[in-house]
Structure 1
């Protein structure tokens, strides 16, 4: 495709959404978290997350792995639903393809949202995590997709998991509703 034609196709495409509004409820957290998504840093990952959110795929998905002083992980739309078998939560993804890494020099600070993945850097799919505290060891190793702009007080109360892997025992807190915002 000619460069000018490619540029026109990009300009004619609908603009990417700029954020998410996540309603969380459970034994720990109850409230709304607002996330600004970084289309410029991770366009493919942001497109994937917003498509899943717009389709209602994140609604009712639990925070299955929550490590105090580190992060809260969610987004397993395959196995991480409220009422599902929590032993499988965190092992699934979505019906969309895994994504190639979009690493950046954006630092993992408190409130940063990153994509969870397996050992393969190109295996991120639907799962993401929110940082409780800075995690510089993640810098350049995991795709940054956004930043919490409101509701970190809600994130701070998400029910914690146990043990080194942070698996949540009993009923985990969940994303009741995830809405794409402009």
Structure 2
């Protein structure tokens, strides 16, 4: 399966035709120390937003912190629904952030392979590896993806969460990335879907990246 990462960056290419480059291998190696120990959805009386708490540990458990994310279902309804379903199913628990790039982002969510080549949508959203022309009955669950919502007006600003995917459209599944407070990767705007904002604990993302 093709690696699902950041399709267009000004940083060294991490994947070439689905194979990690040396830079990508280094990024993956650095990421194995970051574990998503637990994650839960907490509806706190908001009607248009949802709150998610991510419990992170890194450096073999020597460091830990809570990252709180406000999700935007009005702006990215499918992404938020998919993300919440994966959270509620426990799919993210104990997974790693397999890719960490200094001053750029940390990426996780591959709950099947833990290396950036796996993961999938929580349910059928009408796309099979980005193809809307395939029937659900002919699409393996591991190939379930979600449609892009990258034109929602949300930008890749510091302390946001966005969906990772291949360079092809509609190939997001479960992998996501968090942007630290010292990064503004605006070249991703309109390509990857931003679906939430870190409201607390962004310093942990920055420390990791």
The 8 Å contact of residues 114 and 144 in structure 1, kept in 2 or not, is answered as yes
In structure 2, how many angstroms separate the alpha carbons of the residues matched to 1:122 and 1:95? 11
1:150 and 1:61 mapped to 2: Cα distance?
21
Alignment match, 1:73: 107
Counterparts in 2 of 1:107-126, with a 5 A limit?
A: 107-126=155-174
- Cα distance, 1:107 vs. partner? 1.3
1:23 match: secondary structure: strand
- How many angstroms apart in 2 are the aligned matches of 1:141 and 1:94? 19
Alignment match, 1:180: none
Give distance in 2, aligned partners of 1:55 and 1:128. Answer: 16
Q: Are the equivalent residues in 2 in contact too, given 1:29–1:154 (CA < 8 A)?
A: no
Match of residue 116 from structure 2: 90
Q: How many residues align?
A: 137
Q: C-alpha separation between the residues in 2 aligned to 1:29 and 1:122?
A: 35
* TM-score, normalising length: structure 1: 0.71
Residue number among 62, 66, 84 corresponding to 1:32 in the alignment = 66
Aligned to 1:101: 148
Shift of 1:116: 0.2
CA spacing shift, 1:152–1:52, aligned 2, 3 Å: same
Q: 4+ residue stretches of structure 1 with deviation over 6 A?
A: none
- Structure 1 residues 66-102: Cα deviation after superposition (integer angstroms, max 9, x where no partner): 111110000001111xxxxxxxx10001363200101
Structure 2: which 5+ runs fail to align? 1-46, 123-143
Q: Which residue of 2 aligns with 1:21?
A: 53
User: Residue 190 of structure 2 aligns with which residue?
Assistant: 140
Task: State the distance in 1 between where 2:194 and 2:121 align.
Answer: 22
- Give how far 1:16 is off: 7.8
Aligned CA RMSD, in angstroms, stands at 1.7
Q: By how many angstroms is 1:157 displaced?
A: 2.0
CA distance in 2, matches of 1:75, 1:19: 18
Distance apart, 1:146 and its partner CA: 0.5
Aligned to 1:53: 87
Q: Structure 1 residues 16, 79: closer, same or farther in 2, change over 3 A?
A: farther
Greater Cα offset, 58-67 or 96-105: 96-105
Greater relative contact order (CA < 8 Å, ≥ 6 in sequence): 1
With normalisation by structure 2, the TM-score equals 0.62
* Cα contact 1:29–1:157 (8 A) shared by 2: no
| Inter-CA distance 154–138: structure 2 relative to 1 (3 Å threshold) | same
CA contact (8 A) 2:161 2:194 kept: yes
